[in-house]
Amino acid sequence: MAAIYPFRALRPPAEKVAEVAAVPYDVVNTEEARSLASGNPLSFLHVSRPEIDLPEGTDIYADDVYERGRENFERLKADGTLVEEDEPALYVYRLVMGAHTQTGVAAAFSVDEYDRDLIRKHERTRPDKENDRTRHILTLRAQTGPVFLTYRADRRVDALVEAETKAAPLYDFEAPDGVRHTVWRAGAPEQLARCFAEVPALYIADGHHRAASASRARATLRDANAAHTGEEEYNRFLAVVFPDEQMQILPYHRVVRDLNGRSPEEFLGEVRRRFSLTEDANPAGPGKPGHWHMYLGGRWYGLGLHEHSARTLSDDPTAALDVSLLQHNLLDPVLGVTDPRTDKRIDFVGGIRGTAELERLVDGGRAEVAFALYPTSIEDLLRVSDAGGVMPPKSTWFEPKLRDAILIHTI
């Protein structure tokens, strides 16, 4: 079963939501966050990335950063920029990006189900990022950015969600990146909850660190509460859940800073030993799975694994991913990138930035070679999660992104 709970959202008035709502804290660096929030004191980046209000060079994990975030959060509540609902509610949240539309349910979800792997995962988390978001939650006593969940589509849920969109929305605005965000307060929350109770499994699509941090924050608050009952709000975490068939995954590309001591000619020779190689590949990237495009020396090459090197889906679903095949057949044995989680020679470029960003990095000397991948499918993600597997880092880039502070869950 999948338990969902109404919650008393802390949220901005409709006339302020476009100014308050901010990109997720982890898709921008400090400089980008500072630029986005410039001239807008209501931007939630002042809370989610509060180092932007401190001197340049401030350690993003310094005590002053969390304290400034708390101060900024309290200011937004005190001046009426954020107001808590009188009653708990569920919400329907629609994202429109160009021709793509996805509509999900915003709710509080069970930390217990997360801890017991009833909410399935596919990614390892980094301790430093967990520590940061856990401290952020505990300092604010709030979860300010939703986890992005998915489930295998259920027509009964689809029908209920679609019915909710016939009412007047609470919010309907277009963010600066062109994504339209529309939110409704659900009029039939009990029916939605009953239908989700029959959904066999939920899956984390994006937001593993937020979910892990909610679990750690719950443990801290539970241990400090002698009267703990299990019904406290800290036992739940904020998320929006979308049907799998509406999800949009873009590719996550790779760039490597050097050729591991080889000349370009030597490197190409090694690649030819392992892959079929064609010249003048499409700069837009590969058009199907099992193929990769490589940018080296101002030229695009097409790569396909030799038949004896390919692995099938009947083997290990994680090993069969394009990101895994590239890692095991080229990045590790040829370029020496043994652990892409920790190796400083490799960087990742989310698909929203496009392959032009790969050309820019290589042509500008910040990388020696780049690899454009075909996007991982949502079915791949579900298959790996069902098998209890772990995807390589940076396997999926979901678009469009949910915005922080449209709906906040206080704990």
Residues 6+ apart with CB under 8 A from 172: 180, 181, 182, 183
Torsion of the alpha carbons at 111, 115, 117 and 119, rounded to the nearest 10: 20
- Pairing, β 171-174 against β 180-185: antiparallel
pLDDT digits (tens, 9 = 90+) for 349-375: 987 888 999 999 999 999 999 999 999
Predicted confidence (pLDDT) at residue 311 exceeds the cutoff of 50: no
Any alpha helices (H) in 227-375, and if so which ranges? Answer: 264-274, 322-326, 355-363
pLDDT of residue 308: 54
Of the candidates 258, 106, 256, 121, the one whose C-alpha atom is nearest the C-alpha of residue 189 is 106
280-285 long-range contacts, CB within 8 A, separation 24+: 283/355, 283/356, 283/359, 284/355, 285/251, 285/253, 285/355, 285/372, 285/373, 285/374
pLDDT of residue 116: 94
Instruction: Give the pLDDT band (50/70/90) at residue 378.
Output: very high
pTM over 0.75: yes
* b/e burial code for range 296-311 (CB count within 10 A of at least 16 → b): beeebbbbbbeeeeee
Distance from C-alpha of 204 to C-alpha of 385, rounded to nearest angstrom: 9
Predicted confidence (pLDDT) at residue 312 exceeds the cutoff of 50: no
Give the whole-number percent of the chain exceeding pLDDT 70: 98
33 membership: H or E segment, kind and range: helix 30-37
pLDDT of residue 203: 97
pLDDT digits (tens, 9 = 90+) for 209-226: 999 999 999 999 999 999
pLDDT of residue 316: 86
Tokens at 118, concatenated = 């009833």
Predicted confidence (pLDDT) at residue 315 exceeds the cutoff of 80: no
Predicted confidence (pLDDT) at residue 11 exceeds the cutoff of 60: yes
pLDDT of residue 383: 94
Distance from C-alpha of 26 to C-alpha of 104, rounded to nearest angstrom: 22
Residue 282 Cα to chain centre, angstroms: 28
| Cβ-contact 300, 281 below 8 angstroms | yes
pLDDT of residue 353: 87
pLDDT of residue 351: 78
Distance from C-alpha of 106 to C-alpha of 185, rounded to nearest angstrom: 9
pLDDT digits (tens, 9 = 90+) for 185-197: 999 999 999 999 9
Instruction: Give the pLDDT band (50/70/90) at residue 58.
Output: very high
pLDDT of residue 100: 97
- Omega into 400 within 30° of 0, i.e. cis? yes
Predicted confidence (pLDDT) at residue 202 exceeds the cutoff of 70: yes
| Cβ-contact 17, 51 below 8 angstroms | no
**Mean pLDDT, all residues of the chain:** 95
pLDDT of residue 393: 84
Distance from C-alpha of 276 to C-alpha of 289, rounded to nearest angstrom: 15
Distance from C-alpha of 52 to C-alpha of 307, rounded to nearest angstrom: 51
pLDDT digits (tens, 9 = 90+) for 81-140: 999 999 999 999 999 999 999 999 999 999 999 999 999 999 888 889 999 999 999 999
Tokens at 160, concatenated = 């209920």
Question: Which residues does residue 347 pair with via DSSP β-bridges, in sequence order?
Answer: 255
Sheet of strand 275-279: strand arrangement: 275-279, 299-305, 291-296, 369-373, 252-256, 346-350
Tokens at 226, concatenated = 């002698």
CA count, 13 A, side-chain hemisphere, 408:
29
| Cβ-contact 336, 306 below 8 angstroms | no
End-to-end CA distance of the chain: 24
pLDDT of residue 309: 55
